[in-house]
């Protein structure tokens, strides 16, 4: 690990000023950054500890029925928060399917969102990794975003609050990552010194609470990144899908919102046939980036499965194995 200076600012404004210097990085839970530092992927010259900044861990109800979640809120606290469980259950299910209980107790909302996309160096057939992207990739960047949390956030239209040298701004979560055309790797599009301070879940997304699920396929049932995953949310009225949301994980440099599939589902009856069509449409532009063509079919089936589970209703209690297709105990719908 390289040598670095350590700072502990007393305010967001002080942190932003310090982080504007070249080579600076923010330190929150450290579950991602410290790993990258140990293997030499990240080599910051200055670490700016934001763990003690006041107010960044608050979870607050908003007038529109949404939530403001401070960037320093721990993943475990968010996953078990009553408002998240009742209004945004797929978010809780995704959080509880990620990492381990010990890591969830340390990892933060901001750090989870800003995880660096990953590209495995080996492990697939003919030397080609199996985990690489199948959507939105370029020859120079085939990495995938590892977050479970971000998949339902993308489906539900979450936004983030960012503090920077020029003040505070708000941006759609979907705009945080941009993949350069032709060259470069995927990375969060934050300016030097900018600090993610909060996450917003919109009140309108609570309308999906009764029919929302997250499904994750991985090499082992616990403590593994998703090979593929899907978050599905439906608003069903009179036996018809009035509105649908669908996002995929493990397939691209960011959580991938499937808007064409959502449009197909709107106005349709919730049947296995339409879910299959929507899932196929969501992967229509997918192409292998190595020996990973299997991920396309796996993602298609996972998306269809998530939609079917969402249509069946959100369980009254969180499944024993959150997001796992191997958990057969889904319980009675919580919102009827």
SS3 per residue for 254-293: CCEECHHHHHHHCCCCCCHHHHHHHHHHHCCCCCCCCCCC
| pLDDT tops 90 at residue 129 | no
If asked whether residues 62 and 189 sit together in one domain, one would say yes
* Host domain of residue 119: 55-204
pLDDT band at 125 (very low <50, low <70, confident <90, very high): very low
If asked whether residues 252 and 123 sit together in one domain, one would say no
Q: Nearest CA to 172 among 184, 189, 193?
A: 189
| Domain presence at residue 174 | yes
If asked whether residues 224 and 249 sit together in one domain, one would say yes
| pLDDT tops 70 at residue 186 | no
If asked whether residues 195 and 230 sit together in one domain, one would say no
If asked whether residues 156 and 113 sit together in one domain, one would say yes
If asked whether residues 264 and 235 sit together in one domain, one would say yes
67-114, pLDDT tens digit by residue? Answer: 999 999 999 999 999 999 999 999 999 999 998 889 999 999 999 999
| Domain presence at residue 325 | no
| Domain presence at residue 334 | no
The pLDDT, as a whole number, for residue 53 is 94
| Domain presence at residue 250 | yes
| Domain presence at residue 336 | no
CATH number of the domain bearing residue 25: 3.30.43.10
CATH number of the domain bearing residue 220: 3.30.390.50
If asked whether residues 261 and 289 sit together in one domain, one would say yes
pTM of the model: 0.92
Tell me the mean pLDDT in the region 266-290.
Answer: 97
The pLDDT, as a whole number, for residue 332 is 42
If asked whether residues 131 and 199 sit together in one domain, one would say yes
CATH number of the domain bearing residue 158: 3.30.465.10
146-174, pLDDT tens digit by residue? Answer: 999 999 999 999 999 999 999 999 999 99
224-251, pLDDT tens digit by residue? Answer: 899 999 999 999 999 999 999 999 999 9
CA distances for 1 relative to 7, 29, 35, 41, 99, angstroms = 18, 18, 10, 10, 24
If asked whether residues 79 and 173 sit together in one domain, one would say yes
| Domain presence at residue 242 | yes
| pLDDT tops 80 at residue 122 | no
If asked whether residues 140 and 26 sit together in one domain, one would say no
If asked whether residues 117 and 43 sit together in one domain, one would say no
Last residue of a domain, one of 204, 232, 260: 204
Last residue of a domain, one of 156, 186, 204: 204
pLDDT band at 177 (very low <50, low <70, confident <90, very high): confident
Residue 280, judged by CB atoms within 10 A of its CB (0-12, 13-18, 19+), counts as middle
If asked whether residues 187 and 263 sit together in one domain, one would say no
More confident residue, 223 or 129: 223
Structurally, the chain folds into a number of domains equal to 3
The pLDDT, as a whole number, for residue 144 is 93
């Amino acid at each position: 690990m390289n040598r670095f200076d350590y700072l502990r600012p007393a305010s967001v404004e002080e942190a932003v000023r310090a982080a504007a210097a070249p080579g600076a990085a923010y330190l929150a839970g450290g579950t991602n950054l410290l790993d990258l530092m140990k293997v030499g992927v990240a080599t910051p010259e200055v670490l700016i500890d934001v763990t003690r900044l006041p107010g960044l861990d608050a979870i607050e109800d908003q007038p529109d029925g949404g939530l403001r979640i401070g960037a320093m809120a721990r993943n475990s606290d968010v996953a078990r928060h009553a408002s998240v469980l009742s209004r945004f259950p797929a978010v809780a299910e995704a959080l509880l399917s990620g990492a381990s209980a010990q890591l969830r107790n340390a990892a933060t909302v901001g750090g989870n969102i800003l995880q660096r996309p990953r590209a495995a160096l080996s492990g697939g057939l003919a030397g080609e990794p199996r985990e690489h992207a199948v959507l939105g990739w370029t020859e120079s960047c085939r990495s995938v975003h590892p977050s479970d949390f971000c998949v339902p956030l993308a489906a539900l239209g979450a936004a983030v609050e960012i503090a920077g040298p020029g003040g505070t701004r708000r941006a759609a979560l979907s705009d945080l990552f941009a993949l350069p055309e032709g060259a470069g790797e995927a990375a969060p599009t934050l300016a030097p010194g900018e600090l993610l301070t909060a996450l917003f879940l919109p009140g309108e997304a609570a309308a999906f609470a009764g029919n929302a699920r997250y499904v994750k396929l991985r090499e082992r049932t616990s403590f593994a990144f998703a090979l593929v995953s899907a978050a599905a949310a439906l608003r069903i009225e009179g036996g018809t899908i009035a509105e649908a949301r669908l996002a995929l994980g493990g397939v691209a440099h960011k959580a991938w919102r499937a808007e064409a599939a959502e449009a197909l589902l709107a106005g349709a009856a919730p049947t296995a046939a339409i879910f299959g069509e929507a899932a196929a449409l969501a992967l229509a532009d997918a192409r292998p980036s190595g020996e990973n063509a299997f991920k396309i079919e796996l993602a298609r089936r996972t998306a269809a499965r998530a939609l079917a589970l969402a249509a069946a209703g959100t369980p009254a209690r969180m499944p024993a194995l959150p997001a796992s297709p191997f958990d057969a105990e889904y319980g009675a719908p919580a919102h009827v």
